[in-house]
Amino acid sequence: MALLSTILNIIYFIVVLGVLVFVHELGHFMAARSIGLPVITFSIGMGPALKKWKWKRFGDTEFRISAVPFGGYCMVSGEEEDTEEDNTYYSKTPWQRIWYCSAGVLMNFALAIVVFIFSFAVFGIETGINETNQMGISIPGFPADKAGVKTFDRILSIDGEYILSHNQMANIVNAHPDEELNFLVATPIEKSIEIDLASSDMVSINGSESQLIRDIDFSDVSLGCTMRYGDTLVALEDLTAVNDTTPPLDDEDATDWNSVQCMVESGGVLEFDHVLEPREITITPVQDENSGTEKGLIGISPLSIWTPVNFFDSIKLGFQSIWNIFVAIWAFFLGLFKGKTAGIGGPVAIFSILSESSKFGIAKILTFMGYLSVMLGFVNLIPFPGLDGGHIMFNLFEGVSGKKIKRTVLNAINFVGFIILMGLMVLIIIRDIMNIF
């Protein structure tokens, strides 16, 4: 099962990154065609070509599917090497070159808008459930993940205080940055269980002392409550059947336990979705430097559900999401230059987050894909040699000043920039791997 999950996550990773890069390079391809710039090669993937072909409609452009399923490129005439042809990249005006260089970024932003609108229209809007001690994603690289907290784990107690909700957990963590806290964490095991109770049986609720089942007031039971019966620990909100019948559930108030109360007073069979396996761990929250206050973080999101929205609201929410990501990325880079953020994650971190997102289904994968598309576009706009932003900067200088930069100088600057980017990527990958272990 674990092997199948890993294989699926690898497929998700390849597909998501493949789509993002394909759309980016397709933007360059379409822009080149719009200004009459010949495209020599359009490749999906990198490395040696597995398949090559040409379409009459696109002239001499060679299309490739390459061996390494990461990345891709759109090579146009005269961009990388000198040629005797008249119609080349550098024969175009600076403004045409800027259009060509920026088209990939614009396509990534357009893809993100389409993905978000589609996700909202089909799946709805994601809403956090704070009234349960079951957590959502354990974010890779954060203290909780490093300590072994998994997605969907339950935080039962912190320093002896029983936890019933995500908000309660967050308040404690926020108040103790850089302080070691003792957590009791439980992992749900994917197997249903039946508990045959008698009114004289002893059970423990929320870690309290054991008491007679008939003496428990189930009207006080809420999301986040657990019950221990002998060596078996279960979450009461996982109750799915009582005496082979489904208990009355209220979507807003979680569960109406009145009928359960009547049953347990005389004994009966309770069926639960999961068994919980508890363990004690220590976690030291890190400070949230971006909040402007000394607040602790461990990197756990609340559990979430998807609430349907109409199509017009999905369009509005799609553009709002793009704007919110722009604001968040801008704040991140400002913090990065001030030394107040943890840095940038690379392919390993992306794979880890995508693997966690896949546990919540296609809606979460699409949301993460939209975020990555915006991030890819934003990073490519950075005015650094080797990136689209660097090419835009040089062409903008030429367009405003009217002075051309020598090809040899441009090639040297871009080569150095490329080497620096590759070195930075290697360092990021090494850091990501070290964070995992």
Report the number of distinct structural domains present in the chain.
3
Q: Which tokens belong to 290?
A: 């971006």
pLDDT beyond 50 at 395: yes
Instruction: Match 């489904």 to its residue by tokens.
Output: 246
Residues 101 and 22 occupy one common structural domain: yes
- 18-31 tens-digit pLDDT: 888 899 999 999 99
Q: Which of 111-120, 130-139, 394-403, 404-413 has the lowest mean pLDDT?
A: 404-413
Residues 283 and 203 occupy one common structural domain: no
In the 8-state DSSP scheme, what is residue 165? S
**Mean residue pLDDT across the chain:** 80
Alpha carbons 303 and 126: distance in angstroms, whole number: 10
In a domain? residue 31: yes
In a domain? residue 359: no
- 148-173 tens-digit pLDDT: 898 889 999 999 899 988 899 999 99
Sequence-ordered alpha helix ranges (H) in 159-239: 166-174
- 347-372 tens-digit pLDDT: 556 666 666 666 677 888 888 888 88
Alpha carbons 315 and 97: distance in angstroms, whole number: 32
In a domain? residue 202: yes
In a domain? residue 227: yes
In a domain? residue 357: no
- 36-56 tens-digit pLDDT: 898 899 998 888 888 888 888
- 368-389 tens-digit pLDDT: 888 889 888 888 888 888 888 8
pLDDT at 251: 42
Percent of residues, the chain, with pLDDT higher than 70: 78
- 60-91 tens-digit pLDDT: 889 998 888 777 888 888 776 655 567 888 88
Closest-CA residue to 244 (of 212, 207, 269): 269
Alpha carbons 406 and 168: distance in angstroms, whole number: 62
**Average pLDDT score over residue span 184-196:** 85
Q: Provide the residue type at 220 as one letter.
A: D
Residues 158 and 288 occupy one common structural domain: yes
**Residue 379's domain spans which residues?**
2-122+366-436
Q: Provide the residue type at 110 as one letter.
A: A
| R_g of the chain computed on alpha carbons | 27
Q: Which tokens belong to 204?
A: 């423990």
